[in-house]
Amino acid sequence: MKKRIVLIGNGMTGYKFCEKFVASPLVQDYELLVFGEEPHPAYDRVHLTSYYTGTVPEELLLAPAGWYTEHGIELRTHERITGIDREAKTIQSERDLTYHYDILVLSTGSSAFVPPIQGVEKKGVFVYRTFDDIDKIKAYIPEAKKAAVIGGGLLGLEAAKAVLDDGLPTSIVEFAPRLMPRQLDPQGAEILKSKLEEFNLEVLLNKSTECIVGNGSIQGLKFTDGSSIDADLLVISAGIRPRDELAKNAGLEVHARGGIVVNSKMETLDPNIFAIGECVVVHNMVWGLVAPCYEMAEVLVKNLQGDSAEFLGFDLSSKLKLIGTDVASFGDALSAQEGMKTIVYENKARGVYKRLNLSADGKYLLGGILVGEADEYNMLKQVVNNKMVLPENPEDFILGARGGEGGAGISVGDLPDSAVICSCENITKGQILQAIEKDGAEAVPLIKRCTKAGTGCGGCVPMIDDLLTHYMKSQGREVRKTICEHFNYTRQELYDLIKVNEIKSFNELLHAHGKGSGCEICKPVTASLLASIWNEVIAKHDTIQDTNDRFLANIQQRGVYSVVPRIPGGEITPDKLIVIGQVAKKYDLYTKITGGQRIDLFGARVDQLPNIWEELIDAGFESGHAYGKALRTVKSCVGSTWCRYGMDDSVTFAIDVENRYKGLRSPHKLKGGVSGCVRECAEARGKDFGIIATDKGWNLFVCGNGGANPRHADLLASDLDKETCIKYLDRFLMFYIKTAGPLTRTSKWLSELEGGLGYLKDVIVKDSLGIGEKLEQEMEELISHYQCEWTTVVRNPEMRQKFRHFVNSDQIDENIKYVPMRGQKMPAKA
């Protein structure tokens, strides 16, 4: 007869124990009985916020209930264990039932820490930890007008963004002097703060809450420094507290600060009782990330089958995406070791901060911080963990290598096979390569299925993709860049599926060709594809867009928006200039001439946008698409019309080109330029496409860009007449739209295009693929469906109604403050 292991707790760590158990020899000698308090089997708490935004619970389950049955595990959900009798080796449940155990495993996890604040019991106060917590918050939202979140850590910031997206002005209250003090230094935290404030989130630091005020229901918070704020909904996310009450009542050792004390083998002082996960203290600390908790589960299963494994601590590096902002820390990110050298890059204008900590001799990377951009995270973490000797210029990791190649001379191919790529599942580079070579896992979803790499927090997926790409190229094989786990297709394949099957919505595409509920990767990609193929107003797909496309305007600091009307070629009549001035004066908008020969109006509230657009539309203006991955501007010099050096009429040509492609949606933003001579006053060779007049016609340049890594455009064809230039431009733009990856600029697309510029010339100029006429026809079709997106919203009452601050009220946001600046205004700093 089999002995019995009883597992108390069916969270992520508990599930991992079950998974390791069924794959071990223990199944031959033991049966496993599992208890969970919640009505659902174990689910992915790391992505809890996706449940808030609409993902159904079943999509977040780590395994359905049937999985446990199939593997001989008895799972009892919605049954809380209330006591342990160590002498009798039994446990008691809230249903007055008693269960015998031979081995008891405590995986009781943690609960939300609620500070001892006076008034915390009031109506409208919530924690953010479980499905049930989120259901309660969502139900209360219609009764609230102003929210506050106590806690400036990961879950606190996620909770703040969730209630903000539900239409509530939100304040983040943090006790420490900076956000995320365990992961970020002061400079990085300040950059993160400024990024959050761009979303109109109020960030209050150094705030200790004295009491929650209100008569029965919360009406506000009062702080110990005498200040206060109004709020009628409060989410507390101030950390976690180990669930150690069962162990404590059973006489097991509990740490003074909470947590079941275990040794490195996960043993308690009772030889028949073990503990794993967030409920334990090992090496004098609680390990609150999923990866170390998974490691504890694996260590325990190994020891129960007679091995001698130990939990020796764990790398607490992490990469997060907080309200659209990348935040990462790795290795020794914060401590100032003696002699340690640092490399710091800070760009406040773009909201980017990067710090590398080097050993005293400069040979090794100790750790670092990334805010705003964290593409380098996985490689930097590997350099730290594998103690790799740094290249001559380690700053290239965060600045980009000389010559525009990116990186610092170290690639995924340089990592040893023992390098742990997925820390959640402890999967090495060697294991992933074996899955590719021997199991034929030649796509990221297949690698996930074979190895479980990337199925935890998901942070390692980009590196898995890089590793797959490196391997396939080394074998001379083609690499398929699938969109995400919900669509096993490349962007080009999805483009064709949408076009051929005349798909008009994300849900239709997901139902026919995808799985799950979608994610922040595939939803915007699909919206871009639908707009590129059918040229419908992007606001029609607002639920799968980011903020800019959702409101047809760029969000700026303090949560206000900019308005950029289209001014083709930079040419504007005095009457139109007067209208812009009148609108700016009426709505008190900061006014600036842009680098793309347009006029930008800053400081518009979201509820003002349709009214401003209506006045501009009445004067003959259209949307400038400054908010979209679309054609922005076609810059021009004054050309032969006025300039004595001009060789042709660049202004007229620029206006014709901009009007032809206005509203064109693409994988990334597009900018063009037309110069009347080789003096290049329109900077056409710094654009995605540039046209320069010669004494024989026009030269067409493609795939340039400005920005952080500028690149001169390459000559595609020379001495063209206008009609041929437009024909080649039609072909080039449609070929790019159909074949480029998501969020890929034309310059990067060309650098990744097999055959490079020569191949592109063959396709566009020589029509080597025989698709030139088709590309031209597709462009004509797109152009024929153009509509001004502002006009569509202004004339559609249902769309227009979405432009307001609060989902349940027409009240304006009174929290937006300004200060004077050179006769105009600027957002007041918090």
Within 8 A by CB and 6+ apart from 633, the residues are 570, 596, 597, 598, 624, 658, 671, 672
SS3 771: coil
Q: How far apart are CA 520 and CA 518, in angstroms?
A: 7
Q: How far apart are CA 232 and CA 123, in angstroms?
A: 9
Q: How far apart are CA 145 and CA 707, in angstroms?
A: 40
Beta strand 352-358 pairing with 341-347: antiparallel
The answer to whether 519 is annotated as binding is: no
Of the candidates 157, 104, 144, 129, which has an alpha carbon nearest to the alpha carbon of residue 268? 104
The answer to whether 637 is annotated as binding is: yes
Per-residue DSSP letter, 577:
H
Q: Is 62 exposed, middle or buried (0-12, 13-18, 19+ CB in 10 A)?
A: buried
Would you state the structure tokens that stand for residue 29, as one six-digit string? 């000698």
Which residue, chain included where needed, has tokens 């950029």? Answer: 564
Instruction: Provide the residue type at 621 as one letter.
Output: F
Distance separating the N- and C-terminal Cα atoms of the chain: 68
HEC-encoded secondary structure of 721-753: CHHHHHHHHHHHHHHHHHHCCCCCCHHHHHHHC
Of the candidates 310, 306, 305, which has an alpha carbon nearest to the alpha carbon of residue 262? 310
The answer to whether 643 is annotated as binding is: yes
Would you state the structure tokens that stand for residue 818, as one six-digit string? 């300004």
Angle between helices 506-513 and 491-501 (to 10 degrees): 100
User: 318-345 burial string, b = 16+ CB within 10 Å, else e?
Assistant: bbbebbebbbbbbbbbeeeeeeeeebbe
| 537, 623 contact by CB (below 8 A) | no
Q: How far apart are CA 201 and CA 185, in angstroms?
A: 21
Instruction: Provide the residue type at 27 as one letter.
Output: V
Q: Is 274 exposed, middle or buried (0-12, 13-18, 19+ CB in 10 A)?
A: buried
Would you state the structure tokens that stand for residue 380, as one six-digit string? 């930097």
Of the candidates 762, 702, 769, which has an alpha carbon nearest to the alpha carbon of residue 733? 702
Q: How far apart are CA 31 and CA 33, in angstroms?
A: 7
Q: How many Cβ atoms sit within 10 Å of the Cβ of residue 141? A: 16
The answer to whether 457 is annotated as binding is: no
Would you state the structure tokens that stand for residue 631, as one six-digit string? 């054609």
Q: How far apart are CA 260 and CA 303, in angstroms?
A: 19
Q: How far apart are CA 645 and CA 422, in angstroms?
A: 60
Beta strand 318-322 pairing with 30-35: unpaired
Q: Is 546 exposed, middle or buried (0-12, 13-18, 19+ CB in 10 A)?
A: middle
Would you state the structure tokens that stand for residue 740, as one six-digit string? 């480029």
Give the torsion through C-alpha atoms of 92, 95, 97, 103, to 10 deg. -40
Of the candidates 543, 491, 530, 486, which has an alpha carbon nearest to the alpha carbon of residue 511? 486
Of the candidates 275, 287, 353, which has an alpha carbon nearest to the alpha carbon of residue 314? 287
Query: In Å, how far are 121, 133, 144, 176, 212 from 209, measured between CA atoms?
Result: 14, 22, 20, 12, 8
Residue ranges for the binding site? Answer: 637, 643, 677, 681
Residue ranges for the binding site for siroheme? Answer: 681
Residue ranges for the binding site for [4Fe-4S] cluster? Answer: 637, 643, 677, 681
